[in-house]
Amino acid sequence: MITMLTRTTLAALTLLTAIGAQATDDYTQELYDIYCTACHAVSASGAPQAFTSEWEDRLDKGINTLVTHAINGIGNMPPMGTCAECSEEDLKNIILYMAQEQ
Ligand code: HEC
């Protein structure tokens, strides 16, 4: 009985994962919430605001350049955006997440 329930749950989870493959994963959203909102959700900071068209010109530089700038810092943007635990891949995922217009 328990085994059957577990199998059903697993199948449901697998299906959900397949459907949500295009969506940003929870870990990326969590990192964004913790480290990037301080500026990227506060327009007075001068940072390009998340989920707005302010990312269009930035994206023209290419995602790799944006990731490099996030790692090294740029202008008033601190190195790693203060996220010491972020990997290069994490930063890339967060940037692509923030750059989505909603
Ligand atoms: C203390 C404020 C602050 C925090 C925290 C911060 N940013 Fe920024 N960010 C900025 C500012 C200000 C700019 C605009 C810099 C400029 O172009 O002069 C910026 C710009 C950027 C850019 C564009 C770089 C470019 O080449 O145009 C990226 C990418 C970026 N931030 C990523 C992140 C990520 C990812 C995080 C979280 C891990 C983060 N930032 C956290 C202030 C911040």
- Residue 75 CA to ligand 1 center (angstroms) comes to 8
In a domain, 64, yes or no: yes
CA 22 to ligand 1 centroid distance, Å: 24
Closest CA to 83 of 95, 92, 71: 71
- The number of domains in the chain is 1
100 alpha carbon – ligand 1 mean position (Å):
15
Whether 39 maps to a domain, the answer reads yes
Task: Determine what percent of the chain is predicted with pLDDT higher than 70.
Answer: 78
Amino acid 80 reads M
59 pLDDT higher than 60: yes
98 CA from centroid of ligand 1 (Å)? 11
Average confidence (pLDDT) over 34-62:
97
Closest ligand 1 atom to residue 75 Cα is 18
First to last CA, the chain: 43
Can you read off the two tokens belonging to residue 90?
Answer: 């994490």
Q: Residue 84 has what pLDDT? A: 96
> pLDDT for 10-47, tens place per residue?
454 444 444 444 578 999 999 999 999 999 999 999 99
In a domain, 9, yes or no: no
Residue 37: which domain range?
A: 22-98
Give me the CATH number covering residue 49: 1.10.760.10
When pLDDT is cut at 50, 70 and 90, the band that residue 2 belongs to is: low
Determine the atom of ligand 1 nearest the C-alpha atom of 94: 35
Containing 72, the helix (H) or strand (E) segment is: helix 63-72
pTM: 0.84
3 lies in some domain:
no
Is 1 contained in some domain? no
Closest C-alpha to 58, from 75, 44, 42:
75
Average model confidence (pLDDT) for the chain?
Answer: 86
Which residue's CA is the closest to the ligand 1 atom numbered 2? 39
Q: What is the biggest distance separating any 2 CA atoms in the chain, rounded to whole angstroms?
A: 59
Length of the chain counted residue by residue: 102
Give a yes or no: residue 72 inside a domain. Answer: yes
In-domain check, residue 83: yes
Residue 30 placed within a domain? yes
